[in-house]
Amino acid sequence: MSAPNGFRRVVLIGFSATGKSVLAPMIAHQLGWDAVDLDVEIERSAGRPIPEIFVDEGETGFRARERAAVRAASEREGCVIATGGGVWLDAENRSLLADGGFVVSLEARAATILARYAETEQGTTEVRPMLAGVDPRRRVETLKAARQPFYALSDLTVHTDEIAIGEAVDEIVDAVQRRSARALASDARLREMQSGPGVAAPPQNDFGPDVACIVEAGTSRYPVYCAWGLLERSGDIMDRLGLGGRVFLMVDQSIADSHGESVIAALTAAGRSVQSYRVPSGESSKSLAQLDALYGWLSEHRAERRDVIFALGGGVTTDLAGTAAATYLRGMPLVHAPTTVLGMVDAAIGGKVAIDLPSGKNLVGAFYQPRAVLADVATLATLPARELRSGFAEVIKHGFIRDEPMLDLLEAEADTLLNPASAAEDQRSRQLLVDVITRNQAIKAAVVSADERESDLRAILNYGHTLGHAIEAVTGYSAVLHGEAVAMGMVAVAEIGAALGLIDEAVVSRHRRLLDRFGLPTQSPPGLSRTDLLDAMSRDKKVVGGKQNWVLLESVGNPIVRHNVPPEVVSEAIDTVVGPS
């Protein structure tokens, strides 16, 4: 085309999935110019995908690479530039791109954007960094609302919801030819683009590298970290998060001499004052007596509201320390550092903290979100084999309710995943373990972000837990580990689903086969009574109006909640696990 004086480029801005990368090469072809995709340029320069850049370098590192890509693109002439969704928020980027560039904002509704995400990401496990671990619709709507005043600075807005690609290209090319000369001649236009819309840009929360996902629950937003050797960076991470004061370390007694001392050393090296308390190992520590002991310890050391409770251990420590943090001084900052698979993928994420009563599990507690979760996968190398297997019950649960492709991976890689000690020497094994833990953390984070207080969606996380909790209660929270009980509970609900015609026997068999692969029980120890189990279930906190809620599968990855399961179906399903009584 014949370009007006000073006109060097077309710049496409707008939210992710509005069509920038699709339209740029087509517009460039019409104009006889080149197409430049900034995301492609960033990945080429870095030698790895953008999600990995976020993990390795954090948002600050990615934005620095993004600015470099903008500078390089702005030196080119005769090109159509497709930008990332956040590029236009930066004043320097706007100045470089708008000077000599006709700026087109592409717009689409949230439903359209989500549908395009689903289509492009089908069959992949990649998580978009800005949406990791959150309810997608809410996150899209929130981000779009914050960015809209900046996108409105453009020379042209094109809605891409229903419009055909060819029509969108023609509309943009026509506007470029008719309006670009007048737009670029305006000095006020460039000044306004440089200065911005008069509102602050959405803040960047740079949590640094190794963020597996982000939880957004109510007013809480916090990172979940996952990496090998993460505990060595405890002090640096707390500094990055702005957590000051003393650290009150509550550590499981079984790992106090190993991982506990490592954390104390890392925090002390970062200039922190640390007090430590050794929590006796085992479910029996989730008690009123042990909680009272923690209160006494905090009071003795005059803990203040700005001090931090640092929970190091498995699900027991996570729950106990979390309950103390939620209630002492009406709330203290909390950091979870889970050292078990169960803690990493489940207990530490989502803010459910509780202790047990003799009559039932997790009956006294609160919803209290941590400031961060630090999952050091290296700690799994010292975990007893039985505890390791138990934790993978929650991973298997996530596969059945949310991620069917992961079930195939688990079955194929069970031997490697159950041998984390080998990961210390083998990079592939280490990466596999980190990837599986990260994948499950994202599942848990997405669910709890959408439903913080278990009013709806979060109930699906109880798959296998109804009978599982009853088995734990009847056996005194000692003979059977949590994951073992959940494994048996999943077998029972699979049998219920088959009896109701929701799933077929092949899905039931898949439960048993995969649990066997991980050395998890599908049959209870002898001596359990169906009557005792039914009585324990009747006191469960998930009972509503005297009716027991059951999380079942309509198909793998498609859970539902039923409260009208016939008693005889429940009894028969229990018998398949514990035997008739």
Query: DSSP characters for 139-152?
Result: HHHHHHHHHHHHHT
Per annotation, catalytic residue among 259, 352, 389, 402:
352
Task: Tell me the average pLDDT across 341-350.
Answer: 94
Task: Please say if the pLDDT value at position 121 is more than 70.
Answer: no
Q: Which of 233, 336, 465, 511 is catalytic?
A: 465
458 is catalytic: yes
Q: Is residue 526 exposed (0-12), middle (13-18) or buried (19+ Cβ within 10 Å)?
A: exposed
- Does 43 qualify as catalytic in the annotation? no
Q: Let me know if 94 is a catalytic residue.
A: no
- Amino acid 128: pLDDT: 46
CATH tag for 463-578 (out of 1.10.287.130, 1.20.1090.10, 1.10.3720.10, 3.90.1300.10): 1.20.1090.10
Asked about 336 being catalytic, the answer comes back as: no
pLDDT at 140: 79
DSSP states along 283-350: GGGSSHHHHHHHHHHHHHTT--TTSEEEEEESHHHHHHHHHHHHHGGG---EEEEE-SHHIIIIITSS
User: Which residues make beta-bridge pairs with 156?
Assistant: 104
Q: Which residue out of 300, 330, 564, 568 is catalytically annotated?
A: 330
Q: In Å, how far are 67, 299, 306, 363, 461 from 328, measured between CA atoms?
A: 45, 9, 12, 18, 28
Angle at the Cα of 557 from the Cα atoms of 455 and 448, rounded to 5 degrees: 30
Q: Is 211-448 CATH 3.40.50.1970?
A: yes
Q: How far apart are alpha carbons 272 and 229 in whole angstroms?
A: 19
Q: Output the pLDDT for position 130.
A: 46
Q: How confident is the model at residue 124 (pLDDT cuts 50, 70, 90)?
A: very low
Packing angle of the helix pair 315-327, 288-300 (nearest 10 deg): 60
- Exactly one of 469, 511, 512, 542 is catalytic; name it: 469
Per the annotation, the verdict on 454 as an active-site residue is: yes
Is 63 designated active site? no
Angstrom distances, CA of residue 311 to CA of 74, 287, 290, 359: 49, 16, 15, 26
Number of helical (H) and strand (E) elements in the chain, helices listed first: 21, 16
Q: List the catalytic residue out of 107, 454, 472, 495.
A: 454
462 is catalytic: yes
- Within its chain, how far is the Cα of 250 from the centroid? 24
The pLDDT score that the predictor gives to residue 392 is: 98
9 flagged as catalytic: no
> Tokens at residue 4, please?
């007006």
Q: How many CB atoms neighbour CB 519 within 10 A?
A: 16
Q: Which of 9, 272, 397, 482 is catalytic?
A: 482
Question: Long-range contacts: 282-287, Cβ < 8 Å, 24+?
Answer: 282/316, 282/478, 283/316, 283/356, 283/472, 283/477, 283/478, 283/482, 284/477, 284/478, 285/316, 285/317, 285/320, 286/316, 286/319, 286/320, 286/354, 286/355, 286/356, 286/362, 286/477, 287/355, 287/356
Annotated domain spans of the chain:
9-195, 211-448, 463-578
User: What is the per-residue pLDDT for 368?
Assistant: 94
Q: What is the pLDDT of residues 427-467, one digit of tens each?
A: 999 999 999 999 999 888 888 877 666 555 568 889 999 99
Query: Do the two domains 211-448 and 463-578 of this chain adopt the same fold?
Result: no
pLDDT band at 123 (very low <50, low <70, confident <90, very high): very low
Arithmetic mean of pLDDT, 6-17: 93
Catalytic residue among 233, 272, 458, 512: 458
pTM: 0.71
Q: What is the CATH number of domain 9-195?
A: 3.40.50.300
Axis crossing angle, helix 427-450 with helix 385-402, rounded to the nearest 10: 50
Specify the pLDDT at position 28. Answer: 96
